[in-house]
Structure 1
């Protein structure tokens, strides 16, 4: 059948174009993959219609790039033939580009050659706005609950030109009857409907806005240079989650350990198994005291776990009134891949702890297949053991990085083998397990996967080493390295006499920061995931006490590392579905899933028995990988335990924006500024003041994670528990956190008493 063309010499804006047949109208794929022209926005009352659009624009246009599928834009992997203006960065891959081109040519089949010349450019521009990195703004698609516009937001001058020359094409661009009936002949009504309040974001002005397009696709920075990242909540209700690891067995399960000695299995769908993977809380030495550093501290899966089912744990326990650290091997049950065999435990190493603090706790396997263990210096303050301290004494395993081969046995009867290239195997005064020394209390070390393309950096081990009372530091571990403690703290001298005599070959940190930034470093990861390409190569870490998140970027020319703060919770950057604006303050640990995506764990109340810990995943709102590139195919796992679905507790940014204006504004991220936390007064049941007539000694308490730095302090230190009589404390103000009902009632009662004042204790 012949199609109705415009006759030569006939103006398109005066010729009534035939509408598509019904079966040809719905040809625009929507975000869910079904075929439609988008959610129809029809409104019988023009004024209500316009007001609704205006309110949507005011409430939701946040100024960040976003696509119609509610995700950040991306760099298309292949060349775009049709919407080529967006082939470097936008919201279309080649498949989407081809579907838009097909839509265009179907429309143009209904237009005469003269109409092609007059309107082809307008129609192509309008259709290609689905590929714009600001497509969500143009179509009012920031919020999944609001209807999509049928047509993108057009600037008034451009809209007027389009309507004057091509108004009859409106019936071809949309099947919205309201727009077709009210606007084909009425330019004012049509352009009002397509108007955006912020003219910077309408087409084509958006293309000319240098402020919006200058750094498009890069990590967003605020005026102070703080990187704007976002979070999703992955798990909650955890009791001091000290670590999350994966088994590297293609199942993409996540194993989250609580300080009390419980390990839980989280499946790729976000659910948790009701029964734990491991439960040794009866053996693990832990307490409800705030900041107690003892407990279940480390876990690592054997590199060949997929075949041998072996994994390793690091925990505190009491052996005949003597506190010890135990590193042991266990196996998974043959009958259930989601349950460990508690009877399979094989002790590898035990260390006596002279104090309750500085227990280390990291286990990991290097790319060489050997296991690395990170021990603390034994506790107290200033490493006071012996003439030079434990960390500098190579005849003790405390304050060291150890390396052992768990797949062999030593001829001397040890349940592991010593790697032949360990640096001190030939030194009769040194223990052969030592790989590096001079460390204070390294809390969270990680192995760099290497650049996903070049493999550069693969195998480097990064650690956060908690300082004494001046500096926190980040180190890269090298074989035989002396990291300076207790002669040095950060880049500075700590023990002046030792520092003068220390070797010039001491390994210096790649970065150190002072107490204005934080008081207890939590080591992180080099990002090597797929979903956030901008973050590749960034070392992301945090501080337990200040709650700050930070990143280090390596300058390959100078081999120096530049630090930037990370800010979480900007409603402008994080107005995407599922993203949250805040996190719990006390950053306990960082984690990496099997795909290389980055997470961290934090709690609002740092007690081993308080279920206020959460797991968060980092999201870059500025750029993502192309759709489909990062899809994982987890190997199915048979489960015998019930699945507990994930129920988020944190409100998303969009939920906060949609709340009535009378509600309080969203809580700001702790990472934005180094402000002092809000004060609270917490009375630990185990802390008792002497009543023997002597004046109670006033002490300064510091809330810590399981590796808290304990600075020098004059005078006696209050007894908190067995082994903590030598612990030192500093004053800390803590943000009030929800407490168990009984404890909360006691707190309320105590606060009513005049002059009542207590300190938080470890």
Structure 2
């Protein structure tokens, strides 16, 4: 018999792999919840109380305006009914109309595909539908203009409910309210079985040559400026288009090569806090003075007086140059703190183990390498320097320290950011977070404080690197808030604390990544203890990210993170880390589990005067193939067929001749 054959059947390796793969796909399909509204966006928490569809006032797809519209429609229908019909149908009619507010409305109305018509009635489970037909069959003509639904409702309950039912019984009403998988973590960031936070992405820019940074100018135009390692800075507008002419072209001055992983080039940029009025910005890049001498240069430049989207190429004023003894560990971060001062993050000079001098550059406060520097760029001093020293810099009284030094013990901090603070409480505002790239074993995340010693080369992460320096009682180093081993990644890329509006679940998470492994990670603060807990971040599966325009994969090499003027978070990555290769892409994070209420995140950017040509954005990335329920079912049938045929022609026939 068939069962005897199956009992004897031993699948070949390819058949076994196919069977296991299909079983895994089926399990993934059954475990994946996907809240989505009729506008193809995630649900949200309404800002105000819902008067009518109160069932969904904590989380759903309706704001007060939509709730009022549903209530008006309800009373319009009720006015058409006689008293007996009203008393019989009123409660169920309200429940059906309010399914538009369900966090799973797109499923209930079979609207997940934006290119197919939306159902006029939500999917009702057969038992509920039978009761609805008995009590409210006479109101169907007021709920839909669909002739088929009207005719079947007048005919018989079985035909009507077969039309109204959904193929996936988990999503029909009221089953959708009872499913633990669909409701246990509703409104929270989706997690996979391993606890990894599932996020999605949108592609916002591409064809970039090692994009090392993206930043806004803080002038209410909401433009984004993207810099390539070769020395070009491009302007991107709110509509996604790029201006044909670069904002800045320093490709003739910047020192870089096509070598994979070359750290030299255009590395940093920061707009003055008063940029809107003074047009000043600052840049950090590598230069070659002669065949044997390389330096890093920090300069001030100004925007053109004739075009707000172009820098004045003749305005460069060199502020600081530092000789680089090696080609690596060039630092590169510039940023303005809330105090209005410019912070400059330098590397330790390169090579391995900071071998310069008795203690290395990083522990030597008389060297500018391996430091966080802080200067006042609003003026010059009497000695001829193009900047002044802030009066509260921490080492002004130390004759062996450079006055520019704000913090030390830094190896090569790659990407730092200023926390905007919580949108309501302002908690955390002004903190400076940095990722410091490690040597052989650990990568770390630090919060910068005045006068702080961040340990290098005495320590790497939490552990000793140079035993003699590490056990020096005067080290007094500040430990990282987080460190991870080289089993996880080998080159940290510092990120941002999310303080945007569009993804409220992410508020307060410090999101960062690793250049070599391509991993994205997050840290969550315990405010009572000041400690930070790691939260892994992964891309949502195809079903989780099945919103228009979203993707669920990215290039491996994560170069930088960015924040737009509204506080939304991005990262810049490439498929091939060469300064001359146009494989860089900018991705924006999006939480598919919850969004802000409609209208809350609207911005009113100032107009941008565009003189030249705009190049429209054309996305290149695509969502990973979706294994739909039908597709998985087909695979399962094929697998069962293969098992059956193998059984018939191998096991059973063989047994007949024994």
TM-score, structure 2 normalization: 0.90
Show CA shifts across 1:395-440 (max 9, x none): 1100000000000211211000000000011111100000000000
Q: Is the 8 A contact 2:78 2:86 kept in 1?
A: yes
Aligned to 2:6: none
Q: Superposition RMSD on alpha carbons, in Å? A: 1.7
The answer as to 2:114 corresponding to 1:144 is: yes
Q: Is the 8 A contact 1:300 1:365 kept in 2?
A: yes
- The 2-side partners of 1:384 and 1:59 are apart by 55
SS of the counterpart of 2:543? coil
Aligned to 1:199, which of 149, 153, 169? 169
Q: Is the 8 A contact 1:150 1:174 kept in 2?
A: yes
Aligned to 1:452: 423
SS of the counterpart of 1:184? helix
Aligned-pair CA distance for 1:182: 3.0
SS of the counterpart of 1:337? coil
Aligned-pair CA distance for 1:335: 0.4
Aligned to 1:156: 126
Q: Which runs of 5+ in 2 are unaligned?
A: 1-27, 636-658
Aligned-pair CA distance for 1:59: 9.9
SS of the counterpart of 1:263? strand
Change (3 A) 1:660 1:415: farther
Aligned to 1:126: 96
SS of the counterpart of 1:336? coil
Change (3 A) 1:659 1:188: closer
Aligned to 2:526, which of 545, 551, 555? 555
Aligned to 1:366: 337
Aligned residues: 605
Aligned to 2:483: 512
Aligned-pair CA distance for 1:656: 4.9
SS of the counterpart of 1:343? coil
Show CA shifts across 1:527-549 (max 9, x none): 00000000000000000000000
Aligned to 2:57: 87
TM-score, structure 1 normalization: 0.78
- The 2-side partners of 1:658 and 1:221 are apart by 20
The answer as to 2:57 corresponding to 1:71 is: no
Aligned to 2:501: 530
- The 1-side partners of 2:93 and 2:500 are apart by 39
Aligned to 2:364: 393
Aligned-pair CA distance for 1:209: 2.1
Q: Is the 8 A contact 2:258 2:580 kept in 1?
A: yes
The answer as to 2:208 corresponding to 1:247 is: no
- The 1-side partners of 2:359 and 2:43 are apart by 56
Aligned to 1:284, which of 225, 232, 254? 254
The answer as to 2:384 corresponding to 1:413 is: yes
Q: How does 1:326-345 map to 2 (within 5 A)?
A: 326-345=297-316
- The 2-side partners of 1:316 and 1:148 are apart by 57
Aligned to 2:514: 543
SS of the counterpart of 1:342? coil
The answer as to 2:597 corresponding to 1:612 is: no
Show CA shifts across 1:441-476 (max 9, x none): 000000000000000000000000000000000000
Aligned to 2:321: 350
Greater mean deviation of Cα atoms: 178-187 or 470-479: 178-187
Aligned-pair CA distance for 1:341: 0.5
Aligned-pair CA distance for 1:202: 1.0
Show CA shifts across 1:193-245 (max 9, x none): 12122222111111122332122111111111100000000000000000000
Aligned-pair CA distance for 1:60: 12
- The 1-side partners of 2:195 and 2:255 are apart by 43
- The 2-side partners of 1:232 and 1:133 are apart by 22
Show CA shifts across 1:474-520 (max 9, x none): 00000000000000000000001111115362100000000111000
Change (3 A) 1:517 1:462: same
- The 2-side partners of 1:478 and 1:164 are apart by 70
Change (3 A) 1:177 1:352: same
- Greater share of helix residues, 1 or 2? 2
Change (3 A) 1:255 1:87: same
- The 2-side partners of 1:223 and 1:244 are apart by 34
Show CA shifts across 1:588-623 (max 9, x none): 000000000000000000000000000000000000
Q: Is the 8 A contact 1:577 1:652 kept in 2?
A: no
Q: Is the 8 A contact 1:61 1:142 kept in 2?
A: no
Q: Is the 8 A contact 1:182 1:189 kept in 2?
A: yes
Greater mean deviation of Cα atoms: 142-151 or 232-241: 142-151
SS of the counterpart of 2:201? strand
SS of the counterpart of 1:339? coil
The answer as to 2:186 corresponding to 1:216 is: yes
SS of the counterpart of 1:193? helix
Greater mean deviation of Cα atoms: 203-212 or 239-248: 203-212
Change (3 A) 1:59 1:150: farther
SS of the counterpart of 1:333? coil
Aligned-pair CA distance for 1:170: 0.9
Show CA shifts across 1:670-708 (max 9, x none): xxxxxxxxxxxxxxxxxxxxxxxxxxxxxxxxxxxxxxx
Aligned to 2:439: 468
Show CA shifts across 1:707-743 (max 9, x none): xxxxxxxxxxxxxxxxxxxxxxxxxxxxxxxxxxxxx
Aligned to 1:235, which of 199, 202, 205? 205
Q: Is the 8 A contact 1:62 1:571 kept in 2?
A: no
- The 2-side partners of 1:615 and 1:140 are apart by 32
Show CA shifts across 1:556-598 (max 9, x none): 1111100011011411311111110210000000000000000
Q: Is the 8 A contact 1:143 1:577 kept in 2?
A: no
Aligned to 1:175: 145
Q: Which runs of 5+ in 1 are unaligned?
A: 1-57, 666-762
Aligned-pair CA distance for 1:657: 5.9
- The 1-side partners of 2:268 and 2:462 are apart by 28
Q: Is the 8 A contact 1:83 1:97 kept in 2?
A: yes
Q: How does 1:696-711 map to 2 (within 5 A)?
A: none
- The 2-side partners of 1:247 and 1:226 are apart by 34
Q: Is the 8 A contact 2:232 2:246 kept in 1?
A: yes
The answer as to 2:242 corresponding to 1:268 is: no
Aligned to 1:30: none
Q: Is the 8 A contact 2:31 2:181 kept in 1?
A: no
- The 2-side partners of 1:633 and 1:659 are apart by 43
Aligned-pair CA distance for 1:183: 3.3
- The 1-side partners of 2:118 and 2:506 are apart by 31
- The 1-side partners of 2:29 and 2:427 are apart by 44
Q: Is the 8 A contact 1:143 1:576 kept in 2?
A: no
